[in-house]
Chain A
Amino acid sequence: MRFLRHLAVVVLLVAVVVAGGLAWGHFVPGPLPDRGPGGLGQLVVRGRAVRRLPSGARIPAGLHVNSGPENLGLTSMFQAVNLPVLRDTVEIEAGVVVGVVIIEIGHRRWRRARRASRLAATPAPPPGTIT
Chain B
Amino acid sequence: MGVRIAARTRLDFWYDAVLFLGFTLAYSYGFTGIGIHEWLGLGLGLALLIHLTLHWDWVIRTTRKLVRPRGHDKLIWLVNLALLVAMTLCILSGILISRVALPYLGISLTGIGPFWSALHTTTAEVTLGLVPVHVALRWRWIVRIGRRLLAWRPR
Q: Give A contacts to B, CB under 8 Å.
A: 3, 6-7, 9-11, 13-14, 17-18, 21-22, 25, 29-30, 32-37, 39-44, 49, 66-67, 72-79, 82-83, 85-86, 88-90, 92-101, 104
Contact = CB atoms under 8 A, between A and B. Distances in A.
Contacts of B102: none
Interface in B111-129: 113-122, 124, 128-129
The prevalent SS among residues of B at the interface is helix
A61 to B, nearest CB: 19
Contact of B35 (A32, A43, A73, A95): A73
Contacts of B28: 42, 85-86, 88-89
B136 A100 contact: yes
Contacts, number: 150
B33 interface: yes
B62 to A, nearest CB: 15
A14 B96 CA distance: 16
B29 A10 contact: no
B136 A104 contact: yes
A76 B33 contact: yes
B132 A72 contact: no
B133 A100 contact: yes
Given A40-B29, A78-B31, A101 B136 contact: yes
Given A6-B53, A17-B88, A85-B30, 16 more contacts: A7-B49, A7-B50, A14-B52, A29-B115, A34-B117, A40-B27, A40-B120, A41-B30, A42-B28, A42-B29, A66-B29, A67-B30, A72-B33, A82-B30, A82-B31, A97-B136
B88 A18 contact: yes
The prevalent SS among residues of A at the interface is helix
A93 B131 contact: yes
A21 B137 CA distance: 27
A97 B135 contact: yes
B24 interface: yes
Contact of B29 (A13, A29, A78, A85): A85
B100 A39 contact: no
Given A32-B119, A40-B29, A104 B35 contact: no
B61 to A, nearest CB: 13
B133 to A, nearest CB: 5
Contacts of A13: 52, 84
A93 to B, nearest CB: 4
